Structure 1
């Protein structure tokens, strides 16, 4: 808490006022074990919020310096696992940021049926199930839901299935924003290329474009801010937005 002293122009009277503290909220972050999700967790912890995180990895397999949050390993491809987790572990909720995602860098003829099903399940079906299960808790506090998509929703060469799931997520977010208005604010946040290692894991060759990717912590900062902004349901988080946040001398 900050105290600021005001000296009055006349006499020796002194008065003080207290700057308001940042409101502490309860956040759910999926995909919290790595990438943008982990960066969002770190950002929220630094701001003093209570964070509940989920990921595919077990708690014991996380790095020793992983943030001290309420972390749970949850298989988001299982509807029963999602409902059980939300019923058992979430008592109240102000914000949910759904970051979990997967993808492969392959043309459509190279995709395998099992992988297509997995990508659709993680990137889209799980988001519908989560939104359905979280609505009551978010509405009770007039909360906000952030769906983390990708600029690939406009189409991405050699990642057609991934791009399709992100386009579907964008449409789902638009529908929810209309349906839930005045109860739960919905934002679809589309990051540009981000240095999370996902591109390499997806099979994309390392090239000059990889070096231009934004760092996860920068994207996380824009995700957290974007969730609170009133700029419409869809926001693109990429270099243009990033550069406007830098001091002028840093971009010259």
Structure 2
């Protein structure tokens, strides 16, 4: 049994990953901004035989992220095998290079780029306590610099930036035996992806779990999609 920490696990892809990990016997620390309202997680916890721990975390708040180690200690979590940075946002309604909501742009960067690094840093002692631990950050193909597309530019920029951050983190954590990667989850039927999207959360989750399972210490940071294919940076 491995222990996973998943941010934004109360719905969508994060919830689907949580469900599938619990089904195969793993332990999950699932974060939500408002755990009391995370009814799907509460239902899972009731049948998870103690293998699901739900903690409060608002990735937009550095102060909230700073409380994570104390919450994990209170839950008697002494090591983490895998961190999945899943929480994210699409960004403001106005995010064109010609008409930008700059406050919304800054919030998008804070949530999609800075928060995954903040969470990784506070979780690092527990990741070091496990052998062969892994960090997977959910990114997007929209952040690939090979795509000359300008819609949703705040979102695209935040994902391109987090890709670079995770490359750097991978280099710095390699001596610790911790492997880091990023993955595009596909166009998924979630609140963010919309109901016109191509795939269900369960399909994306299966692929992302397979990506995590295939990550091996010593790997260089790689940009995957949920099917395991490599995406150009």
Band of TM-score, shorter chain: 0.7 to 0.9
Partner residue in 1 for 2:84:
97
Cα distance in 1 for partners of 2:126, 2:20 equals 23
How far is the alpha carbon of 1:239 from its aligned partner? Answer: 6.4
Structure 2 spans left out of the alignment, 5+ residues = 46-51
Partner residue in 2 for 1:189:
183
Change (3 A) 1:45 1:177: same
Partner residue in 1 for 2:225:
237
- Equivalent of 1:152 in 136, 142, 148: 142
Q: Cα deviation per residue 1:148-174 (whole Å; 9 max; x = unaligned)?
A: 111111255421010111111111111
What's the Cα RMSD here?
A: 2.2
Q: TM-score, normalised by structure 2?
A: 0.80
Partner residue in 1 for 2:48:
none
Moved segments of 4+, more than 4 Å: 238-241
Q: Secondary structure at the match of 2:31?
A: strand
User: Whose radius of gyration is greater, 1 or 2?
Assistant: 1
Cα distance in 2 for partners of 1:77, 1:239 equals 29
How far is the alpha carbon of 1:121 from its aligned partner? Answer: 1.1
Cα distance in 2 for partners of 1:45, 1:96 equals 15
Is this contact kept in 2: 1:193–1:238, CA < 8 A?
no
Count of residues in Structure 1 that have an aligned counterpart in Structure 2: 209
Q: Cα deviation per residue 1:60-99 (whole Å; 9 max; x = unaligned)?
A: 3424874212112211122222121223324321111110
Cα distance in 1 for partners of 2:25, 2:85 equals 20
How far is the alpha carbon of 1:192 from its aligned partner? Answer: 2.4
